[in-house]
């Protein structure tokens, strides 16, 4: 099958469009004809060989996709042939075909196109479960989202508003902040130019209730300085490259928490929880409460170009690859 192939760990320029054997179908899985695949920051780390899970070479990158079911494993019961679905996979989305365990496959809502479906599972799954389950975000609370124009960040802005929170978005440019505002953010801060702590003295004098952080480094420090009483900092990732160290005394004095959150591990350990979360997020999308933003749609052969947009901080929302027949 046609696929983007990683033959050696390293820079994304080393990726090539080639041929790979179609993956074997697990008994509890389905085979999907891929129509579109979403690009994630984690793909860059997987290709570099620095992600927490390291596939054996050669492999096909790509964590999420949308398409139609073309084969069903002997033990799989939840889907039918030809059904439109979106799915997450450890690797393998940047290809004509992919296989996924049933637990990682979700019905594509009527009216949601394949590109949007491919952009949905990781960003919205992470933002929804992270905010509603891990952080227990409630209506009326104040949510700060770092990197708020990125894939997970913009999804978190929308999920925060859907829950009924006041949302403070941080990002690195006026354009990115305008996008966050267009997707519901109540307040915006350019964390490369402004002092987040000083801005929050006006916006949220008692601190924020929840801070969602896919960036790390200085953004994490800003969360620690501005987290409020019984506040929750949700550690999602380190796109900025610096893994923060936590001075525990800051947490102690505010009865605050810094919590790790790894969506992929929930998929493996608590699939029912993830399925319920995805169902609610998909229902919110159908109801118009979530509006996934795709800033670039590229061909499968342009996978490296798409990944570079994320690496260079030029992407907003999601970048999607379309896969021709």
Ligand X SMILES: NC(=O)c1ccc[n+]([C@@H]2O[C@H](COP(=O)([O-])OP(=O)(O)OC[C@H]3O[C@@H](n4cnc5c(N)ncnc54)[C@H](OP(=O)(O)O)[C@@H]3O)[C@@H](O)[C@H]2O)c1
Which residues contact ligand X by CB under 6 A? Answer: 40-42, 122, 126, 147, 149-153, 171-172, 176, 214-215, 236-241, 261-264, 310, 313, 315
- Separation of alpha carbons 88 and 130, rounded Å: 17
Burial classification of residue 298, based on how many CB atoms lie within 10 Å of its CB (0-12 exposed, 13-18 middle, 19 or more buried): middle
Q: Is the dihedral of CA 57, 42, 274, 65 positive or negative?
A: negative
Rounded to a whole number of angstroms, the minimum distance from the CB of residue 91 to ligand X is 14
Nearer CB in complex with ligand X: 63/76: 63
Nearer CB in complex with ligand X: 61/214: 214
Rounded to a whole number of angstroms, the minimum distance from the CB of residue 195 to ligand X is 16
Q: Name the one residue in this structure whose structure tokens are 């997020």.
A: 281
* Alpha-carbon distances of 209 from 170, 270, 307, rounded to whole Å: 15, 26, 33
Nearer CB in complex with ligand X: 42/321: 42
* Alpha-carbon distances of 10 from 139, 247, 256, 278, rounded to whole Å: 44, 34, 39, 33
Rounded to a whole number of angstroms, the minimum distance from the CB of residue 100 to ligand X is 17
Nearer CB in complex with ligand X: 40/221: 40
Rounded to a whole number of angstroms, the minimum distance from the CB of residue 98 to ligand X is 18
Q: Which contiguous run of DSSP H or E holds residue 280?
A: helix 271-286
* Alpha-carbon distances of 52 from 9, 42, 55, 90, 215, rounded to whole Å: 14, 10, 10, 11, 17
CB 200 within 8 A of CB 217: no
Rounded to a whole number of angstroms, the minimum distance from the CB of residue 130 to ligand X is 7
Nearer CB in complex with ligand X: 96/233: 233
Q: Give the residue nearest to ligand X (CB).
A: 150
Rounded to a whole number of angstroms, the minimum distance from the CB of residue 114 to ligand X is 19
Nearer CB in complex with ligand X: 214/228: 214
């Amino acid at each position: 099958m046609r696929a983007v192939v990683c033959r050696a760990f390293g820079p994304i320029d080393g990726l090539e469009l080639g041929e790979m054997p179609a993956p074997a179908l697990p008994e509890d899985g389905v085979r999907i004809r891929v129509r579109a695949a979403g690009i994630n920051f984690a793909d860059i780390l997987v290709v570099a060989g620095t992600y927490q899970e390291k596939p054996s070479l050669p492999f096909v990158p790509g964590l999420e996709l949308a398409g139609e079911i073309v084969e069903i494993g002997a033990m799989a019961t939840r889907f039918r042939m030809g059904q439109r679905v979106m799915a997450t996979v450890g690797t393998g989305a940047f290809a004509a075909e992919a296989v996924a365990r049933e637990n990682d496959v979700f019905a594509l809502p009527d009216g949601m196109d394949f590109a949007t479906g491919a952009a949905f599972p990781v960003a919205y799954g992470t933002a929804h479960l992270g905010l509603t389950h891990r952080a227990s975000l409630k209506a009326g609370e104040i949510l700060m989202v770092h990197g708020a124009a990125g894939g997970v960040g913009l999804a978190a802005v929308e999920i925060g508003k859907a829950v009924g929170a006041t949302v403070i978005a941080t990002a690195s440019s006026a354009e990115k902040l305008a996008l966050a505002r267009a997707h519901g953010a109540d307040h915006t801060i350019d964390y490369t130019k402004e002092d987040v702590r000083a801005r929050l003295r006006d916006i949220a004098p008692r601190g924020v209730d929840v801070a969602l952080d896919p960036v790390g480094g200085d953004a994490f420090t800003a969360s620690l300085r501005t987290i409020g009483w019984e506040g929750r900092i949700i550690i999602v990732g380190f796109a900025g490259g610096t893994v923060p160290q936590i001075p525990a005394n800051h947490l102690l004095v505010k009865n605050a928490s810094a919590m790790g959150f790894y969506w992929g591990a929930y998929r493996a350990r608590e699939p029912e929880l993830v399925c319920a979360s995805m169902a609610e997020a998909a229902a919110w999308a159908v109801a118009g409460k979530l509006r996934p933003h795709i800033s670039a749609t590229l061909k499968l052969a342009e996978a490296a170009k798409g990944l570079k947009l994320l690496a260079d901080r030029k992407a907003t929302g999601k970048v999607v690859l379309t896969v021709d027949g």
